Amino acid sequence: MTDNRDEYFMRAALEEARKGRYIAPPNPAVGCVIVKEGEIVARGYTHAPGSQHAEIDALMNAQAAGVDVAGATVYVTLEPCSHYGRTPPCAARLVKERVGRVVAALEDPNPQVSGRGLAMLREAGIAVDCGVCRDEAYESNIGFFTRMKTGLPWVRLKTASTLDGRTALANGQSRWITCAEARRKGRLWRARAQGILTGIGTVLSDNPQMSVREEKLPSPEKFVLDSQALTPMTFNILQGQPATIFVSSDAPGSRVEALTAAGARVQVIASDRTGLDLHEALKAIGEAGVNELHVEAGATLSGALLERGLVDEIVSFVAPALMGEGMPFAKLGPYERMDEVQRWRFVSVEPVGDDLEIVLRKNK
């Protein structure tokens, strides 16, 4: 039986989970609090892969504080794991510590767990409740859940445009449409993702770094759709974080060899009549352990992803400016009927400096 106290303590665990957002992936960012006699006696969150999970972190902190956790209630934002991976199973450790009750927000979708952790606890005589703050916990690890269920990452398309939807002048100039605060917020969205995807057109026209450039925050792994291996060896995209270049089977061998020698990981994927197979590329990115994929691309790739239904979320920074003739953020259509028009729902609208940050998701 859950009550308001369970929700209160689970939200404290969700706060802990946010601390692991940038370091936990490809594992889920999980938070944990241990409660005894109505008070939080220890907190923890998932650290980098191979290090302690949230439950172990909280137990270690309790031990360091001299707290006996026997009989305590453990609140955790995801089912404790039941298998040996990089670390021993958390469920077994909770049994060993003789905790009295475990409250989980939801089951782990990982096939290696998927209810087994909760079953292990129940078999040991520990009271278990599951489903407290389920929606908030799902949202906090939406990329992990998406990858576990579909094999694909959660795909977030980031755009920066004028009020009339333009991302560049007709002559190609685009710096800067949005304000400095919006550009920094965009880099923070990059840091949240484990991968960033762009196309060869953007690489050749902008020579982007695709890095975060914020102190102590990681930059995502870079992925480039480049069917003919045209990425110049000296360009910024090959510097810093690893870069995977997706090419077609007919890409010139000399170019592929040169990219490999420059430190890139070159991966051949199938092509269709419009170019590289985008679904196969996303599947490969998911297999690389990317939970959230940040897309910053030109109108052609952005439009292709949208037309194929491969974008889960749009983060649009909109400047209060009108450009007139220029490049749209995505090439779509042409549509002939209004029921063909893509419709999205607003998740949030917030001011950022002089601009607006608009987050949208697919209509359910």
Active-site entry in 55, 79, 97, 357? 55
Whole-number pLDDT of residue 299: 93
To the query of whether residue 336 is one of the catalytic residues in this protein, the response is no
* Model pLDDT, residue 270: 94
Side chain identity at residue 152, one-letter code: L
Is residue 91 over pLDDT 70?
Answer: yes
Q: What is the mean pLDDT of residues 227-256?
A: 94
**pTM (2 d.p.):** 0.91
137 vs 83, more confident: 137
Prior bond to 208 cis, omega within 30?
Answer: no
pLDDT tens by residue, 186-237: 999 999 999 999 999 999 999 998 988 776 788 899 999 999 999 999 999 9
Residue 159 has pLDDT above 80, yes or no: yes
Reference 145, options 56, 78, 85; nearest CA is: 78
Alpha helices in the chain (DSSP H): 4-18, 54-64, 90-96, 116-123, 134-140, 142-150, 180-192, 200-206, 253-261, 278-287, 299-307
Q: What is the average pLDDT score of the chain? A: 92
Q: What pLDDT does residue 80 have?
A: 93
- pLDDT class of 1 with cuts at 50, 70, 90: very low
Q: Which residues contact 333 (CB under 8 A, 6 or more apart)?
A: 340
Bond preceding residue 26 cis, omega within 30 of 0: yes
